[in-house]
Structure 1
Amino acid sequence: MSQGDNKAMTMKRAYLDHNATTMLRPEAAAAVMRALAAPGMGLGNASSVHAEGRAARKLVEAARSQVKALVNAGDAGLVFTSGGTEAAHLALHAARAGADVERLIVCTVEHSAVRAPAEAIGLPLSWLPVDADGVADLAALKTLLAEPGKPLVALMWANNETGVIQPVKDAAELTHEAGGLLLTDAVQAAGKLSVDFTDADVDMMLLAGHKLGGPLGTGALVFRSGLSVEPLQLGGGQEMRRRAGSENVPGIAGFGAAARAANAALDGFSGLSLLRDLLEERIADIATDAVFFGARAARLPNTSYVSAPGLDAERLVMMLDLDGIAVSAGAACSSGKVGRPHVLDAMGVEDEISRGAVRVSLGWNSTEDDVNRFVESWSRAYVKAKKRPLADGSETSGRNAALAEVES
């Protein structure tokens, strides 16, 4: 570990990357430990019929009910997976193998966990555009749905980078009128908003435990009652013969406990919009040319995606980290890659602005002090990037200033 890494990890940290992974809720940690410590838990397989197996099964089914309650899934089915990415692969496989889907319509701002398998699955693929605010174009969807072949539409509930909330219920209505299915990625929305699987009338929904305070390595696919879900993994009859492999009982128990805790705390989470708005107001006072992507649309209460001309996101993230502040340059899964953010590209954002974009995402334990520290650190980077004197008396600006700040 470098000296900079040591400094960054030993100082008091302001963690503002909750859309990547949020802190494990105490309720979830306690549920995991109880499951690990339960008598016979080292032997109990949730598919076994003996007492130890039945004890494990009870934990899994309790968690299934808790996760379904979070999204009001009613009599829908729910398969536990290793996370949202596996759930996305299972959903697309199920649509092709069990629901006889003939083509895909995928929104341009979807997470790569949906985009990548959609591109690889071998079905005709159309892209659903968004407007300048990152909201799906329903008129374009109606046109795409009129084309021949049974469609599966993939439209996320809320975007992981901008936080923009999509018109899922309206899209589901249009899709069903055309005889298709709608898959929604609710990984970012569940536990942050009131998400209602039944009211939205969607066919499949993706969830991930670690986004709402559960353990990493847990997720779920929720699917409409009566929808055929063919297994992607073979080799066992677990999860109602829809996912082979012994269940991760402690992780699932933690996922269920986190879902229950998040459900109870939804009103409090909505209050994070006050901190988010304070952050944006303070940034706007300092940087009149700052841009907050998706701010004109309905957004998650915890998410701000901000940039300004002259900033370089990769360097800015490093500078903030050295100041003890954790944020992402867009999606955490992609932030280490060099390239234009696909979400901002889909929104038509110019490169001069998109290259400096960083995502701030608050969590259930975020404070005003965290916000203040981010604003102060971001502001220093902004001022230095705009105009920084050099040793010879000349000035530099923009990306070169950000590079020089990190390297100095």
Structure 2
Amino acid sequence: MSSLRAHRLSFSYTDASPILTDVDLCLTPGWYGIVGPNGAGKTTLLRLFAGDLAPDAGSLRLEPRGASIAVCPQAVERADAAIRALAEAEDGIARRLRGELLLDPAELGRWATLSPGERKRWQIGAALAAEPDLLLLDEPTNHIDADARALLAGALGGFRGIGACVSHDRELLDALTIGTIRVDRAAAQLYPGGYSAARELWEAEAREREEAHQRLRAEERQLRRRLGEERREQASADAERSIGKRAKGPRDHDARGMLANFRVSSAEARLSRSVGVTRRKLEKVSAEAGTFDFEKAVGRSVFVGYERSPAPWLFVLDAPEVRAGGGDGPVLLRDVRLSVGREDRIRIAGPNGGGKTTLVKALLAGARVPAAKVLYV
């Protein structure tokens, strides 16, 4: 049985941020969807599978040795040798595929006038006719209608090798795939099932992470209160001890006084230890809470859910100057005093380089709402 295995695979373009980091995957025969936000690295992963790119680290192995690969990129510019072979062949596979995909060999004579959807059917038909061990598709249903999509889904469903398909077509992915590779934030994780089933799983994971984050924040608030109480108690004990020392005469060294002093010293030591323990716990919890990576839903309809903020002011900026680059660049704005209320709708206009984006970033730095409640596009 053929397989495609990635072990700790990492890749980046030149000195840019990593596209993929420590990816572990194991694909066996069947179709797998590759999904994720635009620019996340879906096509990069496909090109790594194809061997067009070499990983910076880790390994990628297709078995058995010598297994064949067919790749169908988005654009189909010309009728290559594989397409011409499909048009001319008279074997059973070629005849079946031409029938399933409604391909007429005479169409090759007017290739320049064929629509992108017609060309795509020829491209995928030729790839299927080659019976590769690994078939890679990049957005196969772009620019095709519903009827052509149904033809493609039917033909692809008969493929018996390993198939990987980058697509935003959720209907196709749900109908075709047995697994879904989600590429996001330099990670690629394999989920069982088509797109809809896989999405339920990763959204449940996101909810669990959010709940864990909220628990950490609640613990952080509790520890801050406890630390404040302990410090006030410690300060009160220090003050009482200081007053006692000033009030005691030079000859007050009786046993009861010494015992009282010992008790006070012991209490102060316990308080000091307690403050130290609480402070260390707080530092640990704050660090854990600070590593939480908020995940915002993207790629859906253009709609932003609204929940009225309890705070009247969302952003407040009072700065003598605002510099480009977060403080190291030239001064772009001076004497900025700006407050954004929860009901405000504001347009920021100005020439290129005038400081519009810099102003937005300065406002974000002074946000009075949780980061999870801010959508910055």
Question: Which bin holds the TM-score, normalised by the shorter protein?
Answer: under 0.3
User: As a proportion of its length, which structure holds more strand?
Assistant: 2
Q: TM-score, normalised by structure 1?
A: 0.23
Q: TM-score, normalised by structure 2?
A: 0.25
Q: Which has the higher contact order (CA 8 A, sep 6+)?
A: 1
Name which one, 1 or 2, has greater alpha-carbon Rg: 2
